[in-house]
Every structure is written in C-alpha cells, then in structure tokens.
Amino acid sequence: MIIESLLSPLLSCRDPTMMSSHPFLMLIFNVLLASFMLLLTIKHVKQSLRAKRFPPGPWRLPLVGNLHQLMNPIHRSLLHLAKQHGPIMFLQLGSIPTIIISSADMLKEIFRKHDIVFSGRPVLYSASKFSYNCSDIVFMPYGEIWREMRKIAMTELLSAKRVQSFQAVREEEVCLMLDSVARSSGSINLSDLSMVLSNNVICRVALGRKYDGRFAGENIGLSELLREAQELLGGFCIADFFPWMGWLCKFNGLEARVEKIFTELDKLYDKVIQEHLDPRRPKTQHEDFVDVLLRLQKDPSREVALSNDSIKGALTDMFIAGTDTSSATLVWTMTELIRNPHAMRRVQEEVRSVCEGKKRVQEKDLPQLVYLKSVLKESLRVHPPAPLLAPRETMEDCKIGDYEIPARTRVYINALAISMDHKSWENPSEFRPERFLDSSIDFSGQHYELIPFGVGRRGCPGMNFGVVLIEIALANLLHSYEWELPHGVSREDLDMQEAFGVTMHKKAPLWLVASPVPYCGAGH
Ligand code: HEM
C-alpha cells in the first residue's frame, strides 16, 4: 500500500499520453531515477554499517528500508514487529533512521536520563505548513521560543484556572448535545455528536464564538477545514520519508490540497483576529484564547515577542490536538461500555446515585464519580487516541544501554504497545475498569505504563481541558439515557476497527439507540 503511494505521483501523471508517447524520455527518466536511488541507498547502507550498534530491527530493502512492513493501522504493525525485535527497535523508513519504543521500562530508562535529547520534533511536510512553519507549540523545535510558547499554554491558555473559567461553555454545549439526543428518533450517530460537541467547545473557548456554518461567503466551513487538515496531517506523504523527493508533492496534488486548506484557515484566523481587535466588540465575561494571545502580544515585558504566525499556529494546535482526541475518546468509551454491560451498569448506577434527583450532572459532581474515572482511564489505555503520540526527533547523539542513537533519529513511542504489555498489565486486551480502582496509576505522564497524553517535557498541556470535557459529556449521556445497540446488531457484531490517521478514531461510526431515563427530581 505504501509502495503504491510512493509510486502514485508517477502513475497518476495527469496526461497519460505524455510519457508513453516519448519512450526515450521515459527510459532516460527511469535510468536517472534508478541511479540516483542506488547512490542514495549505498550511502545509507554505508552510514548504517558505520554506526556502531543500532537497536535490533527487521531486515530492510534497498531504498524503501522497512516502509513496506508498515501496514495500516501503523501502530498495530509496529506492535507486531516489536514482539519480534524488542522494546527498542530500529527501522529505516525510506531515508529516515527511526526508532520505536514499545515498553514502559524502556521508556523510563530513556526519559529519566535523556528527556531533553528526545524532545525534538521532526519537520514534516503538511505539519510544517499548518503550523506556520513550525511557529506553533506542537511542531516547534525544542528551544527558547518553544519554552516560551509552552509556558503560555500552561499558564495562560490551559491552566486549571482557565479550564475552570470555561465550565459554563462546556455545560451549555453538553446540554445542546443532550437536546439533539432527545430530538432524534431511532438510532443516533454518536461519532458525529461527539465531534460536534468538541468542535463547538474548542471553537467557543479559542475563538470566542462558534464558526459552524460557512463564514465570510466562503465555500467551506471550519469543521470541514479541520477534517481535511486532519486527513492531510495523518496521511502518507513521500516527503516525510524521502525529503529529497518533496518535489513530487507538486505533481500528486498534495501541495495544492495543503495550500488550499491552509489559505482558508488563515483567512478565518485573520477574520477572527480583526473581530477581536474591533473596539466595538461587546465585552465578554471571560477571555478566549485569541483575547489572551493578543493581550500577550502587546505586553512589552515579554522576553520573546509573540508573532502573528505563532498565534495562528497555536490556534490550529488547539483544534487539531484538542477536538479529535476528545471526541474519539468519548466514542471509544461508549463503545466499550456497550460491549461490557457489567461496566455499563456499574457506571450508570454510580452516576445516578451520586446525582440522584438532579436533571443534569454538573462539574462539581465529577470528583465523586470514581468508577467513571476508572472507565475513562481504561478506555484511554485500550484506545489511546494518539497511539504513536506525536513524533519526536533526537537532538544529539546518545547511548541507550549498549545502543547508539545518532542525532536527528526519528522516534515513535508506541503508547498502544505499552498499554498492551503483559509485564505491566494483566490480561491487557480485556476492558476492565476495576483494575484502576485500587491503583495509583494515572495518565498524567508520571506512570510510564499509561501514557495516552504523552511523556516528558513535550507531554500534552491540554490534558485537564480534554479530561473534564469527556467526563462531563460521558456522565450526562449515562445519567439521562439508557443505551442500546440498534435492533438486529449484537455486541459481537460491533465493528472495532481503527481508522488510519493522526488520531485513532473508530472506523465505523457508533450508532446507538437512546431511551430517556424518567426524571423524578426538582433539582437542575
Ligand atoms: C483526550 C484528549 C487528548 C489527548 C489524548 C491528547 C494527547 C496528546 C499527545 C499524545 C500529545 C503528544 C505528547 C508527546 O509528544 O509526548 C499531545 C500534545 C499536545 N496536545 Fe494534547 N491531547 C488531548 C487533548 C488536548 C487538548 C484539549 C489540547 C488543547 C486545547 C491539547 C493540546 C496539545 C498541545 C499544544 C500539544 C503539544 C505539546 C508540545 O509539543 O509541547 N491536547 N496531546
């Protein structure tokens, strides 16, 4: 499949007659390309041999290296390979030397000693465009400016106080979601519903209001733009594995697609910024992210000036990193509860007894929902929404045990493989929230066996934001409704396939039937 993608730019030449009517041209082109590839392969094999001791890994082919062994979903094929080659494995992905980390012990060894060395990010084709040339937080190289951006994220945008200040937005949007459930007759597409919820919440929190329909007479709405951007970020791009072949992106249509989506998003951000700078804009109760970023931009006491590109890049981060991950988690959690009636019964009993007599669960009730929190941890363990986290790159040479890892090696941390490790988890593929009831393990990044939000200094700064949104949505869905599979679908029939992309969604949408639980109280 990946080989097909590599060749697709050549195969999909817009004018098929052009090459075939010039066989001589075609021959020269092929000979040149083959010689170039051979030279590169020889150079890379020599480099590999020169390296003293790389971690073990599967045998590689010339040119493509191990790319042909990556089947979709990639985290599953890496898990399979790690079973044969161990918790630290070397793969040559095209011309990119790559290591894969697949166990909690190995992760601990690396991050206890070399956190900074492993805190770089590679420059990837679509990501660098959407991040305004890596001026954002997710893709910015490690260094002083990233530290400043990260500080802004931690203390200004996603701090506990700021997350708390958006409580009303979350509760309103959850109510709107429950209203849509109430209005629907028959089966409900929970995948769509949860995507709308997380998009709306992030939109209001980041931009100050919803931009759900078309804007400024354009042909494409924000959610469509984000969906396209996610697809481009998660898709295979030849330039990410053969940087010298980046020019092919011009011919296979990728460059044009990225450019189109980027330009539309950029226009939207310009419009939002203009709206925020307009002195006639009505005062709001709480600052949204754009308010905060514009205020910080004007602050002369800041050591590193905040560029417009960094503001726009940070906004894209919030959408790309925050919406899909939260909505995928809500869908996987409901899917697992439907498959596990014992867990469903127990969590509903808990929510309904803690919130007895209330119409809705409120955020102040969440600390008492101990089993629901275990359900969420278990769901994030079995279905980490970013199973390979976000790619890293080593910033200098380092030694891991006897192995030598050169600078600029790409690093994938397989959170799914770590969750499925028998050394850390009993019956790891079983969905059993009870395993967390008497355990101090959580997902804050301190416990290497559970890392859905990543690890080390580049771990997710939006964890609290994401968790509270998922918990309040889940608690209310479970409090107000009984959930069943549509008529004729059995638990065993549920499609558990994972979609391929930057976030691990459930491939087939989750359709469920909801019956309201009679409300017999006077509270709200
Ligand atoms: C269930 C929800 C979420 C999950 C599972 C999740 C997961 C992740 C993961 C795995 C990473 C990469 C960490 C690493 O490299 O070690 C990450 C990074 C990041 N996330 Fe999240 N995330 C979630 C929600 C959010 C939200 C709601 C926001 C913001 C509104 C957010 C903002 C970010 C940012 C800015 C980074 C980049 C950090 C850096 O490179 O310094 N995330 N997230």
- pLDDT, residue 12, reads 37
Q: Is the pLDDT of residue 499 over 50?
A: yes
Mutate to test the pocket of ligand 1, among 460, 464, 472 (most ligand atoms within 8 A of CB): 460
Tokens of 247: 């020019």
Q: Is the pLDDT of residue 523 over 60?
A: no
- DSSP per-residue letters across 170-191: HHHHHHHHHHHHHH--SEEEHH
Closest-CA residue to 189 (of 477, 511, 515) = 511
Question: Mean pLDDT over residues 78-85, rounded?
Answer: 97
Q: What is the pTM of this model?
A: 0.90
For residue 34, what pLDDT band results from cuts at 50, 70 and 90?
A: low
Q: What span, in angstroms and rounded, lies between the C-alpha atoms of 327 and 194?
A: 5
- pLDDT, residue 285, reads 80
Q: Is the pLDDT of residue 284 over 90?
A: no
- pLDDT, residue 99, reads 98
Mutate to test the pocket of ligand 1, among 381, 453, 474 (most ligand atoms within 8 A of CB): 453
Q: Is 457 in the pocket of ligand 1 (CB under 6 A)?
A: no
* 236 CA to centre of ligand 1 in angstroms: 21
Q: Which helix (H) or strand (E) holds 260?
A: helix 254-277
Question: Mean pLDDT over residues 281-304, rounded?
Answer: 90
Q: Which helix (H) or strand (E) holds 101?
A: strand 96-101
- pLDDT, residue 51, reads 52
Q: What span, in angstroms and rounded, lies between the C-alpha atoms of 87 and 320?
A: 29
Tell me: the pLDDT tens digits for 347-387? 999 999 999 999 999 999 999 999 999 999 999 999 999 99
Tell me: the pLDDT tens digits for 46-77? 565 555 689 999 999 999 999 999 998 999 99
- pLDDT, residue 26, reads 58
Q: What span, in angstroms and rounded, lies between the C-alpha atoms of 501 and 506?
A: 11
How distant, in Å, are the alpha carbons of 12, 125, 131 from that of 249?
Answer: 12, 9, 18
Helix (H, G, I), strand (E, B) or coil at 483: strand
- pLDDT, residue 159, reads 97
One-letter amino acid for residue 282 of the chain: P
**Cross-strand bridge partners of residue 189:** 511
ipTM of model over 0.95: yes
Query: Over the chain, what is the mean pLDDT?
Result: 90
Contact at 8 Å (CB) between 102 and 417? yes
* 28 CA to centre of ligand 1 in angstroms: 47
Query: Which strands sit side by side in the sheet containing 392-393, from one edge to the other?
Result: 88-93, 96-101, 410-413, 392-393
Q: Is 149 in the pocket of ligand 1 (CB under 6 A)?
A: no
Contact at 8 Å (CB) between 295 and 273? no
Question: Mean pLDDT over residues 316-336, rounded?
Answer: 96
- Ranking 39-48, 52-61, 243-252 by mean pLDDT, the lowest is 39-48
